[in-house]
Amino acid sequence: MPQIVFLPNEEHCPEGAVVEAKAGETIIEAALRNGIEIEHACEMSCACTTCHVIVREGFNSLEASDELEDDMLDKAWGLEPESRLSCQARVADQDLVVEIPRYTINQVSEKH
Helix (H, G, I), strand (E, B) or coil at 28: helix
Average pLDDT over residues 8-17: 93
CB 101 within 8 A of CB 11: no
Q: Cβ contacts of residue 109 below 8 Å, gap of 6+?
A: none
Distance from C-alpha of 26 to C-alpha of 89, rounded to nearest angstrom: 5
**Rg, the chain, Cα only:** 13
- For 13-43, what is each residue's pLDDT tens digit? 999 999 999 999 999 999 999 999 999 999 9
For residue 9, the model assigns a pLDDT of 93
For residue 106, the model assigns a pLDDT of 57
CB 101 within 8 A of CB 78: yes
Average pLDDT over residues 65-91: 96
Q: Count of CB atoms within 10 A of residue 46's CB?
A: 17
For 31, phi and psi rounded to 5 degrees? -65, -50
3.40.50.720, 3.40.50.1970, 3.10.20.30, 3.40.50.300: CATH of 3-110:
3.10.20.30
